């Protein structure tokens, strides 16, 4: 099995699932099998909660301040393991928890899961990816037709529930698209992070 916990740019990440309800054109997993010094992040199967905890207990947490749920899948697709693992990391290791997500968890699970996430997650980073629903559908290719409005609703709900909420885009967008995304974030009082494509 690939590493469940991996280091990237001196941060600790949790790769708990390879399932994803999007198929983004720019997704790193379509280009290579790993990131940084982690050559292979494809899991041979969905890890159980016990397997995740066993691997977590092998990590030296003294060198990290935060655990980020972000791997070769959408973490909220493995919601129960995400919640239990985050709670375990907080209780046993005192870790701050960040979730990098596509913001479609409420659509995927057909209910509002934010109250559950907010019990164990400190920061949520939501991939906005585009300034319009049409462009979002084109480049993100989600399983759902109404994904973009659901993402924006998720972000607005998240802002009220987490210590910090941010939207993110990749710098492959045009200046005009970046400006439009900035307005979307500003209108909602949410920070916009512009990530470098790597």
Give how many domains the chain has, as a whole number: 1
**pLDDT, greater one: 129 or 173:** 129
Confidence of residue 28 (pLDDT cuts 50, 70, 90): confident
pLDDT in tens, 125-170: 999 999 999 999 999 999 998 999 999 999 999 999 999 999 999 8
> Most distant CA pair in the chain: distance in Å?
47
pLDDT in tens, 6-22: 888 778 999 999 998 99
Confidence of residue 23 (pLDDT cuts 50, 70, 90): confident
Q: What is residue 63's DSSP assignment?
A: G
Query: What's the confidence (pLDDT) of residue 192?
Result: 96
Q: What share of the chain is helix, strand, coil (3-state, %, to 5)?
A: 40, 20, 40
Q: Is the pLDDT of residue 195 over 90?
A: no
Contact partners, residue 193, CB within 8 Å, separation at least 6: 125, 166, 167, 168, 169
Query: What's the confidence (pLDDT) of residue 159?
Result: 97
Q: Is the pLDDT of residue 197 over 70?
A: no
Query: What's the confidence (pLDDT) of residue 106?
Result: 98
Q: Of the ranges 16-30, 149-163, 177-191, which one carries the lowest mean pLDDT score?
A: 16-30
Residue 52, domain extent = 5-195
User: In this prediction, what percent of the chain has a pLDDT beyond 90?
Assistant: 74
CATH number at residue 106: 3.20.20.70
Distances (CA, A) of 20 to 23, 134, 142: 7, 20, 9
Does this model's pTM top 0.75? My answer is yes
**pLDDT, greater one: 112 or 37:** 112
Query: What's the confidence (pLDDT) of residue 115?
Result: 98
Q: What is the mean pLDDT of the chain?
A: 91
Crossing angle of the two packed helices 147-161 and 133-140, in degrees rounded to 10? 100
Q: Is the pLDDT of residue 40 over 70?
A: no
Q: Once rounded to an integer, what is the mean pLDDT over residues 91-114?
A: 97
Q: Is 53 exposed, middle or buried (0-12, 13-18, 19+ CB in 10 A)?
A: middle
């Amino acid at each position: 099995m690939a590493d469940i916990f991996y280091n990237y740019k001196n941060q600790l990440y949790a790769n708990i699932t390879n399932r994803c309800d999007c198929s983004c054109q720019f997704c790193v997993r379509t280009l290579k099998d790993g990131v940084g010094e982690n050559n292979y992040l494809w899991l041979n199967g969905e890890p159980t909660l016990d397997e995740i905890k066993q691997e977590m207990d092998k990590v030296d947490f003294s060198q990290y301040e935060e655990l980020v749920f972000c791997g070769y899948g959408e973490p909220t697709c493995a919601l129960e393991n995400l919640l239990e693992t985050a709670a375990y990391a907080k209780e046993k290791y005192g870790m701050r928890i960040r979730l990098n997500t596509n913001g479609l968890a409420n659509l995927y699970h057909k209910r509002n899961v934010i109250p559950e996430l907010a019990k164990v997650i400190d920061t949520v980073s939501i991939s906005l990816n585009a300034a319009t629903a049409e462009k979002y559908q084109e480049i993100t290719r989600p399983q759902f037709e109404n994904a973009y409005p659901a993402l924006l609703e998720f972000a607005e709900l998240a802002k009220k529930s987490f210590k910090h909420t941010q939207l993110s885009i990749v710098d492959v967008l045009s200046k005009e698209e970046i400006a439009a995304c900035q307005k979307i974030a500003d209108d909602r009082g949410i920070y916009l992070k512009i990530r470098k494509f790597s």
